[in-house]
């Protein structure tokens, strides 16, 4: 079972400074990492959010990237000015020893393809470059599994799908919400305070589902009913759910909603 989330490109609208926008993105990244989100889909909410959409995408991808090759993938940019204040994610693709002498067969690590003296190598952040004979271009991130350590390194390139547990999240910029929903091949959970409450029958039905799940969140000033109108009741394979019955605030901020909704779903062992 895989879970993804859809959030608007206007998610940073309420924050006025780059520092506060960066902090909010850090909270989004942490929430998605804690609950092993497969993909963060950023849908378009109007035409005025282009800069924030780029900022949101860039910092989410920056935080997900292993620290040992961030500089190569992300040259200095003012967008990243305040990322140093954010706590590290410490997700599986960023953890583990950097001492290659402690590696064992079966170790999985992410690397970056580089070129040195006319030859391609994989930089695994271990102060030892591994010869690369694959077809991918320089600058490509790859995941490798170490088959043998001694006397020489033997590696095999694998995909994220071949890893049994959570590795890291993907980030995808998409079109408007209607197009995201129509193109999603799986179950769609639409979050709204104008819906029936989360309950045990719903929990069991979702738990038994073998389809990928997309959890959809509204914008800072519009709920999903406002965005989709009457079409919200015509979306196939969808469930409209209120995860915060009797809420004491007029709205629930995105970073709060992510933690709350994902925590509730996780507590029912859906994943």
Computed over its alpha carbons, how large is the radius of gyration of the chain?
Answer: 20
Half-sphere exposure of 97 (CA within 13 A, CB side): 7
Domains of the chain: 3-90+168-267 (3.40.1280.10), 92-162 (2.40.50.140)
What does the angle CA 113 – CA 118 – CA 120 come to, to the nearest 5 degrees? 20
What pLDDT is stored for residue 152 in this prediction? Answer: 78
Q: Which among 64, 49, 29, 21 has a CA at the least distance from the CA of 168? A: 64
Contact 241, 189 (CB under 8 A): yes
What pLDDT is stored for residue 204 in this prediction? Answer: 77
Handedness of CA 10, 11, 16, 20 (dihedral sign): negative
Q: How many Å from the N-terminal Cα to the C-terminal Cα in the chain? A: 6
Q: What is the DSSP letter of 118?
A: T
In three-state secondary structure terms, 114 is: strand
Query: How far apart (Å, rounded) are the C-alpha atoms in residues 206 and 29?
Result: 24
Residue written as tokens 């001694």? 150
What's this model's pTM, rounded to 2 decimal places? 0.93
What pLDDT is stored for residue 268 in this prediction? Answer: 58
40 forms bridges with which residues in the sheet? 5, 171
Query: pLDDT 10s digit of each residue in the chain, 271 long?
Result: 789 999 999 999 999 999 999 999 999 999 999 999 999 999 999 889 999 999 999 999 999 999 999 999 999 899 999 999 999 999 999 998 888 888 889 999 999 999 999 999 999 998 888 889 888 899 999 999 988 888 777 889 999 999 999 999 999 999 999 999 999 999 999 999 888 887 777 777 777 778 999 999 999 888 999 999 989 989 999 999 999 988 898 888 999 999 999 999 887 544 3
Contact 30, 255 (CB under 8 A): no
Angle between helices 254-267 and 18-34 (to 10 degrees): 10
Contact 142, 122 (CB under 8 A): yes
In three-state secondary structure terms, 6 is: strand
């Amino acid at each position: 079972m895989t879970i993804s989330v859809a959030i608007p490109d206007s998610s940073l609208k309420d924050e006025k400074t780059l520092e506060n926008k960066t902090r909010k993105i850090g909270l989004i990244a942490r929430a998605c990492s804690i609950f092993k989100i497969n993909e963060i889909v950023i849908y378009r909410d109007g035409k005025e959010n282009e800069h924030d959409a780029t900022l949101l995408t860039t910092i989410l991808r920056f935080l997900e990237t292993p620290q040992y090759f961030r500089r190569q993938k992300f040259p200095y940019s003012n967008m990243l000015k305040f990322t140093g204040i954010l706590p590290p994610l410490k997700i599986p693709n960023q953890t583990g020893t950097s001492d290659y002498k402690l590696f064992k067969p079966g170790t999985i690590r992410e690397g970056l393809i580089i070129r040195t003296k006319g030859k391609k190598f994989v930089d695994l952040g271990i102060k030892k470059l591994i010869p690369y004979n694959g077809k991918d271009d320089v600058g490509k991130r790859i995941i490798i599994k170490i088959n043998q350590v001694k006397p020489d390194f033997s590696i095999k390139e694998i995909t994220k799908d071949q890893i049994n547990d959570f590795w890291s999240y993907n980030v995808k910029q998409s079109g408007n919400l209607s197009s995201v929903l129509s193109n999603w091949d799986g179950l769609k959970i639409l979050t709204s305070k104008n819906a029936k409450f989360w309950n045990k029958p719903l929990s069991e039905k979702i738990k038994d589902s073998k389809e990928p799940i997309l959890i959809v969140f509204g914008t800072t000033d519009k709920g999903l009913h406002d965005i989709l109108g009457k079409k919200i009741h015509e979306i196939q394979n969808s469930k409209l759910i209120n995860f915060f019955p009797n809420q004491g605030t007029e709205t629930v901020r995105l970073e709060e909603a992510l933690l709350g909704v994902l925590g509730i779903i996780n507590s029912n062992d859906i994943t």
